[in-house]
Chains A and B, each alone.
Chain A
Amino acid sequence: MSGTPIMLEVRDLRVQYRSRQAASQPAAFAVDGVSFSIDAGESVGLVGESGSGKSSIARSLLRLVPATGSVRFEQRELLSLRGSGLRAMRERMQVVFQDPLGALDPRMNVAELVAEPLREFRPAMREQHARQVLAMLARVGLGSEVLARFPHQLSGGQAQRVGLARALMLHPRLLICDEPVAALDVSIRSQIANLLRDMRAELGLALLFIAHDLPTVRYLCDRILVMFRGRLVEQASREALFGAPQHPYTRALLAANPVPDPARRPASPVPAAAAGGSAMTASAVKGGCPYRDRCPLAFARCAEEAPVIRQVGASLVSCHRAGE
């Protein structure tokens, strides 16, 4: 990684949602002091369960939700950008969402959908748009026969390819993918995963790949961040994370992953995890380690003191007991 410039640097990011019903209650942090960076051209995976704050990170980077802390993208502070600065940033950072159909305007056909970023950002070069649209569609594996189709006439895989074509149209440097294959059929998932990998190699894109599907993350990402209840609990290279996971939550995630082999059963984490009761929010476990109520290794110190991120083995991990 030496020599490659840092493209995105996130410091102490916090995202807080206020509940309308319970305005008097202190709001929970969906993202609670997260720091990480992404190098140019690097592919970083962000994993964690639903409600862990993965998508909130994506939305705060895209400036779709208010956040505090600092996000430097290509040397500019992103959280304070406004107007034309924000607009320029959107050219450089694009997103692909989970639900490919929901992300496409149902009233536009494919030609209009893929040309929209060009009409918006390159209005002067209008006569070139049609050619650029066709070239981009070919890149994502679609032919000219889809040009006149509307989103409801596309399969899930085709719609996701259109979403990717739109995102790549302005040649962004960072592509944020929020569960881009989760809603697709199994036989189509690997097509899209391969396409993302090819596009990244071809265009030198950096990727922030958000998913709960660990095998796909392993396939696509150089480095992986593991989130739990709004905090980063582990970050490591692919080899280190899958070879020698350090945080008990990372280990539970890896062990629970089902393997398509009847001879091997996924390990079910301690059932006490389910006994936790009501839907948990980041604020439900106050102080100490956010994972302690589920952790098989928890001891007194875990309730008293929140673990800070430290180096254990080849991982950065926040756990009092890691490395013992």
Chain B
Amino acid sequence: MRCVTRSIPATSLAMTDAREPLLQLRSLGVTYHRDARVLRAVDGVDLELRERECLGVVGESGSGKSQLLLALLGLSAPGAQLRGSIRYRGEELLGAPRARLEAIRGRRIAIVFQDPLSALNPFLTIGTQLTEAARRALQLGRREALARAAELLSTVQIDAPAQRLRCYPHELSGGMRQRVLIAMALMCEPEILLLDEPTTALDVTVQAQVLDLLRTLRERSGVATLFVTHDLGALASMADRIAVMYAGRVVELASATALYGAPLHPYAAGLLRSLPRLDLPLPARLPSIPGQPPDLADLPAGCAFAPRCPLVHERCTQRPELRVLPDGRALACHFTGSTSAVDAAWTGT
């Protein structure tokens, strides 16, 4: 089994500063207008994806995590207004010509979507779909492209790859289809892999296998990965750093160890507490976060989490900015106590 190696042309290496993050979002905003109201789906997000790292973005519906991903790919819905900056190796992608975006998408930045069945065309064979983009982007001949596709299918642990290339999507199981999508994303040896809930639609045993596969691929190729999900369980074994999003903003950004071990934002802490877990004794009652996920059309002034927060205070009518704490993590909350204080506040509710 050959692993995927990344080849960056010498010219592009010479032109880029080695310290430049691969992907840099600055004050990214995605806004929609609906019935004379302004919906800020993404509201001033600053994030960096560095070489070789896996950055997790976790949030619930309305958090803006999917809108962020679509903006990165230049695939925001018609009517969306984008502001701020998205730089790929220093090059501005917001407002870049379509041809340039298309050259980068797929070739440099590839994505694996959540639902493998709707992401695949039911009328085309796996082989055709795997090779379509790569033949164009890499100027490969049919035979060459198919050989590479077969090689990648074995990289993603699909047996008898040559036969599978002739299969249609419905002939494969859900787990295999997700592997095919991962192989498809890797066809052009991208530098950045975007994962959009890649395991959500899968059974738990298959989910563990796909996560295992993604970890192995990352260890071998070092492909920088942005993993967007609502599943804190799946993210734990993958991400180096995690950004927690709520109502379009990043509320906490920390290393995975810091976030899972000692979350500081009341939302992050509340989310982690409310997960039922098999590795801990059964609680007498499952902790939960009261209230509803935020309605973007009707956000409170100030902190969007305030209506659900056990630590809510007068100052929360002022919007807390994301600022970096001495330990390196970033937090958007007026309360900067300890994890135990946040926990105590939740226990008191």
Provide 29 A-B residue pairs closer than 8 Å at the C-beta atoms, listed in order of the A residue.
Answer: A50-B203, A185-B60, A185-B293, A186-B274, A187-B60, A187-B274, A187-B289, A191-B290, A193-B286, A194-B288, A212-B204, A215-B275, A219-B276, A219-B283, A242-B278, A253-B205, A258-B204, A258-B234, A259-B277, A260-B275, A262-B256, A264-B236, A266-B208, A269-B205, A275-B159, A278-B167, A278-B171, A279-B170, A280-B173
Contact A258 B231 (CB under 8 A): yes
What 0/1 pattern do residues 154 to 196 of B give for CB contact below 8 A with A?
A: 0001110000000100111111100100000000000000000
Contact A253 B204 (CB under 8 A): yes
A271 interfacial contact with B, CB 8 Å: yes
Within 8 A of A (CB), among B255-303: 256-257, 260, 270-272, 274-279, 282-283, 285-290, 292-293, 295
CA distance A190 to B158 in the complex (A): 37
Closest to A238 in B: B282
A: contact size bracket: 35 or more
Extra A-B contacts (11), CB below 8 Å, given A187-B293, A258-B233, A279-B173: A49-B203, A194-B285, A216-B276, A253-B204, A256-B204, A256-B205, A257-B204, A258-B208, A261-B279, A264-B237, A277-B173
A-side contacts of B275, CB under 8 Å: 186, 190, 215, 260
B-side contacts of A312, CB under 8 Å: none
Within 8 A of B (CB), among A177-236: 185-191, 193-194, 212-216, 218-219
Closest approach, in angstroms, between the C-beta of B213 and any C-beta of chain A? Answer: 8
A268 interfacial contact with B, CB 8 Å: yes
Closest to B205 in A: A256
CA distance A242 to B278 in the complex (A): 8
B-side contacts of A190, CB under 8 Å: 274-276, 286-289
Closest approach, in angstroms, between the C-beta of B286 and any C-beta of chain A? Answer: 4
A-side contacts of B286, CB under 8 Å: 190, 193-194, 219
Closest to B177 in A: A279
Q: Which among B167, B272, B288 is the interface contact of A260 at CB below 8 angstroms?
A: B272
B residues near A, CB below 8 A? 60-61, 157-159, 167, 170-176, 179, 203-209, 211-212, 230-234, 236-237, 239, 256-257, 260, 270-272, 274-279, 282-283, 285-290, 292-293, 295, 308
Contact A219 B278 (CB under 8 A): no
CA distance A279 to B208 in the complex (A): 18
Closest to B234 in A: A258
B-side contacts of A187, CB under 8 Å: 60, 270-271, 274, 288-289, 293, 308
Given contacts A271-B157, A280-B173, contact A186 B205 (CB under 8 A): no
Contact B277 A268 (CB under 8 A): no
B-side contacts of A155, CB under 8 Å: 292-293, 295
Within 8 A of B (CB), among A230-256: 242, 252-256
Contact A218 B293 (CB under 8 A): no
Given contacts A49-B203, A260-B233, A262-B236, contact A218 B276 (CB under 8 A): yes
**Closest 4 CB pairs between A and B?**
A258-B233, A215-B276, A256-B208, A190-B288
Closest approach, in angstroms, between the C-beta of A240 and any C-beta of chain B? Answer: 14
Closest approach, in angstroms, between the C-beta of B146 and any C-beta of chain A? Answer: 20
A-side contacts of B295, CB under 8 Å: 155
Closest to B279 in A: A259
A1 interfacial contact with B, CB 8 Å: no
A-side contacts of B206, CB under 8 Å: 49, 273-274
Closest to A155 in B: B292
Contact A186 B209 (CB under 8 A): no
Closest to B204 in A: A256
B-side contacts of A277, CB under 8 Å: 159, 173, 176
Contact B288 A191 (CB under 8 A): yes
A148 interfacial contact with B, CB 8 Å: no
A102 interfacial contact with B, CB 8 Å: no
